[in-house]
Structure 1
Amino acid sequence: MSSHSKPLRIALLTYSTKLRGSVVHTLELAEALHAIGQDVCVYALDKDGTGFDRPLSCPHTLITAQPAPADIEALIQQRIQEFVEHFSQSSETYDCYHAQDCIGANALSLLRQRQRLTHVVRTVHHIEAYNSPYLQACQERSIRDPDLCLCVSTRWQTELQQQYQIQAPRVINGVDTLRFSAEQDGSEPLLKQRLGIKNGLFYLTVGGIEPRKNAIALLQAFVQILADHPQAQLMIAGGATLFDYQEYRQEFFALVEQTGVRIGESLLLPGVIPDAELPALYRLADAFVFPSVKEGWGLVVLEAIASGIPVITANQPPFTEFLTAQQALLVDPRSPTAIAQAMRSVLAPRLAASLVQHSQTILPHYSWNASAQMHLVHYHKLLTSNNQPLTNA
């Protein structure tokens, strides 16, 4: 329990039930707040009726997301409206309404204009550069309208200050070291067989084929690895997103065809991995390769570290905020040759063991309990500054 005796009522909004970074952050934060006695509920748009791919101990409400048009602007408008309609009809009230993304924040902004709620919080995980004026305006509102913006990295703290003159407190991400660990649970052999992972060299990345994940540069690097290690495999797992990145994906698969990389043999594209299988998948990898060029913080990097495998990632913030050259191989993400060189270097057993050993010292500094406590401090500061009475818990 926090130092404040009365629990807060907190609504946490997320745009999806599919477990990408901000969605995982939402669920882990909600569970941690619930564990320390707060009255928290997760609200999530559910487009296929299957809910979350993990059990939750905290209350949660799934809002049906109807089939949406292919046009991305119309899709975003519809998703915002689905949140608005739900809360307009709900009798539930909360002390804080906290959105983790642009969709939820825009919905809360509209609801506050209609005097349906107060105390809007937004976590800005990263800022996108949209070509669409509509999407750019949505992002602007989602950052400027909330009473409080939070960030998970110094990089985006600085961006909010420079671009928006907003002082956003920094909160941390966490990792569940009981769930993600180097200790095998016996599921690994069957998972390996089902996913087509061979006994040779196996590289893993999580995040899908999209521009900010830098999938094309990673593929170019992997082609160089295949020249020396023809039996090597690269798995690009994940990929559930609102945006289809069709042009980028076409370029990616054109390169696959051009280079003769065999999908299902050398290149494994399993899509979204069931949440229960993700810890074992990390443990199967010889190295985690994540040359992302734009990341809020990089939860998957911490999960890989907790799983006891060496990490290769971009030599830029936010990764350099919590990783040193002794804890990960930090590379120029724009250079496929540099990525490939790191993928070769990490094969040296002594270097791999050293990276794993040094990276373990990071883990105690990132817990979801600590993150929840930090959030509570900022929630209470917001409520106190507005001198607003709390709802009845």
Structure 2
Amino acid sequence: MSYSALITDQTEPNFSQVSSPTNLKIALLTYSTKPRGSVIHTLELAEALHHLGNEVCVYALDKDGTGFDYPLTCNYQLVLAQSAPADMDALIQQRIQEFVDYLSHSEQTYDCYHAQDCISANALAKLVQQQKIPHFVRTVHHIEDYSSPYLQQCQDRSIRGANLCFCVSDHWQTALQQQYQIQAPRIINGVNLGRFTPVLNDTEQDLKERWGLNGSPIYLTVGGIEPRKNSIRLLQAFAQVRSHYPNAQLVIAGGATLFDYQAYRDEFFTIANTLKIKIGHSLVLPGVIADVDLPALYRTADAFVFPSVKEGWGLVLLEAIASGLPVLTSHQTPFTEFLAPTQALLVDPESPTAIAQAMQAMVQPDLSRSLVQHSQSVLSRYTWAASAEMHLHHYKQLLASYA
């Protein structure tokens, strides 16, 4: 619903007034405590809003009881996610209901309820329908192509039911307009320069010893093994690189995800075996990285490779740039919205040979230095403080239309 439509709608229930014209109470919801892109976006945004003087609380589904492996100074609430059935439709339905049940019994109220994903947005849509909250906001990081009618309906409801949608890239802003006829304000991602830096701090050697990172060159990617990360083509490219650099290593960090990509992972490991890429030696899979270790992990690498075929934006690219690494990514949006050919090697993600050629080129000293030097200017344009200010502007516009 547009701001103008909200202003003229006289049937809206009379909810409590905004807490302050300057400071807001904001609930940010995310589907996981694990470090995926939208989760990190949620946490960094929450911290930035908190530091601007707003009262912020992060609500997150927590399926293993360990909470966030991430330092937070703002408030947060962990929503216990019970064991769920293997059927994906049933799992999503249960996760939505867990959010609904938890928030229905909460005595806390907020000026803004902001969902960062389909699951939490569906929960908020139900609470609006039940008149337990007045409205909600959703950030659409990207739009999925679901084969399941139920999941597609959930995605549609999470977008159409929101009173305000944000997008983090021009690409998805255009997609939202074309597929849903929704005009979504563009907000930005950021990078935490306090965490990600090229300055060594004596922890890098420990990580190298822990995971056997003794190769040269060392290529790093973050995000795990899954189709949209283009993991198989990256593996095939790495096999070509090894013919020129037999001591090279590829580190694929991360892996926590809601969806089961077992068939794709099985194919990945079959190909690795066929290509004689030894896991634990040439191919290093450290899994989900502890928050305290991630900055140092970037600094153990010689280059960052991210030929993804579908992303909301690509936070890890900024983290790698801030860590002083040359980066490679796909020659497509949204990456080309913020990276020029002088700042990153932009490749055809469908071609393992193109990826391999770029991987070999980017570790050459002159090109590596040039990419690092030219990419640093990107960092000043993407800060979490600026992102928080943009969010606040639109939050307050939305709230003014209910006043």
Matched residue type, 1:200: S
Look up the SS of the partner of 1:77 in the other structure: helix
Which residue of structure 2 aligns with residue 244 of structure 1?
260
Residue 133 in 1 paired to residue 149 in 2? yes
CA contact (8 A) 1:13 1:100 kept: yes
- For residue 71 of structure 1, report the CA deviation from its aligned partner: 1.0
The CA distance in 2 between the partners of 1:200 and 1:128, in whole Å, is: 37
Summarize the alignment of residues 188-207 of structure 1 with structure 2, pairs less than 5 Å apart.
188-207=204-223
2:118 pairs with 1:118: no
Corresponding residue for residue 273 of structure 1: 289
Q: Of 281, 288, 296, which residue of structure 1 is paired with 2:312?
A: 296
Q: Please state how far the C-alpha of 1:5 moved relative to its aligned partner.
A: 4.8
In structure 1, the gaps of 5 or more residues are: 388-393
Aligned to 1:13: 29
Do structure 1's residue 330 and structure 2's residue 357 form an aligned pair? no
8 Å contact from structure 1 (residues 13, 99) kept in 2: yes
Q: Deviations over 1:60-90 (max 9, x none)?
A: 0011111111111111111100000001111
Paired letter, 1:87: L
State the one-letter code of the partner of 1:363: L
1:350 equivalenced with 2:370 (yes/no): no
Tell me whether 1:150 sits opposite 2:160 in the alignment: no
Q: Deviations over 1:191-232 (max 9, x none)?
A: 110011014210000001101000001001001011121111
Unaligned runs of 5+ in 2: 1-19
The answer to whether residue 235 in structure 2 is matched with residue 223 in structure 1 is: no
> Which residues of 2 match residues 1-393 of structure 1 at below 5 A?
5-387=21-403
Would you say how many aligned residue pairs link Structure 1 and Structure 2? 384
Instruction: Give the deviation of 1:386 after TM superposition.
Output: 2.4
In 2, the alpha carbon distance for the partners of 1:375 and 1:165 equals 21
* Amino acid in the other structure paired with 2:230: N
Determine the C-alpha separation between the residues in 2 that align with 1:89 and 1:335. Answer: 52
Alignment deviations for residues 124-150 of structure 1 (CA, whole Å, 9 cap, x no partner)? 000010111111110010111000000
**CA distance in 2: counterparts of 1:385 and 1:292, whole angstroms:** 39
Indicate the SS of the match to 1:253.
helix
SS in 1 for 2:401: helix
Conservation of the 8 A alpha-carbon contact between 2:215 and 2:249 = no
Q: How many angstroms does 1:55 deviate by?
A: 1.8
Return the letter of the residue paired with 2:350.
R
CA distance in 1, matches of 2:102, 2:245: 54
Q: Distance in 1 between matches of 2:248 and 2:255?
A: 22
User: For 1:346 and 1:108, how far apart are their aligned partners in 2?
Assistant: 45
How far apart, in 2, do the equivalents of 1:130 and 1:27 lie?
27
CA distance in 2, matches of 1:303, 1:377: 26
- Partners of 2:138 and 2:216 lie apart in 1 by 44
**Deviation of the 1:6 alpha carbon:** 3.4
Structure 1 contact 175–363 (Cα < 8 Å) conserved: yes
Distance of aligned partners of 1:372 and 1:57 in 2 relative to their CA distance in 1, 3 Å threshold = same
* Partner deviation per Cα, 1:229-267 (whole Å, 9 max, x = no partner): 111100110010011111111111111111111000100
CA contact (8 A) 1:312 1:330 kept: yes
Contact in 2 for aligned 1:10/1:98 (Cα 8 Å): yes
Task: Tell me the distance in 1 between the aligned counterparts of 2:207 and 2:400.
Answer: 50
- Contact (CA 8 Å) 2:100, 2:127: kept in 1 or not? yes
Per the alignment, in what secondary structure is the counterpart of residue 276 of structure 1? coil
Between the aligned partners of 1:87 and 1:231, the Cα distance in structure 2 is 53
Q: How far is the alpha carbon of 1:92 from its aligned partner?
A: 0.8
Q: Does the CA contact (< 8 Å) of 1:95 and 1:119 recur in 2?
A: no
Does the Cα contact within 8 Å between 2:322 and 2:379 map onto a contact in 1?
yes
User: CA–CA distance in 2 between the matches of 1:199 and 1:158?
Assistant: 42
Tell me the SS of whatever aligns to 1:236. Answer: strand
Give every structure 1 segment of 4 or more consecutive aligned residues whose post-TM-superposition deviation is greater than 4 Å. Answer: none
Q: Does structure 2 retain, via aligned residues, the 8 Å contact 1:119–1:382? A: no
Counting aligned pairs with the same residue, the percent is 67
Counterpart-to-counterpart distance in 2, 1:338 and 1:98: 40
Contact kept, 8 Å, 2:96 with 2:123, in 1: the verdict is yes
Cα distance in 2 between the residues matched to 1:179 and 1:249: 31
The answer to whether the Cα contact below 8 Å between 1:12 and 1:97 also exists between their aligned partners in 2 is: yes
- Contact 2:216–2:245 under 8 Å retained in 1: no
Contact 2:215 2:247 in 1 (8 A): no
SS in 2 for 1:334: coil
SS in 2 for 1:85: helix
Query: TM-score normalized by structure 2?
Result: 0.94
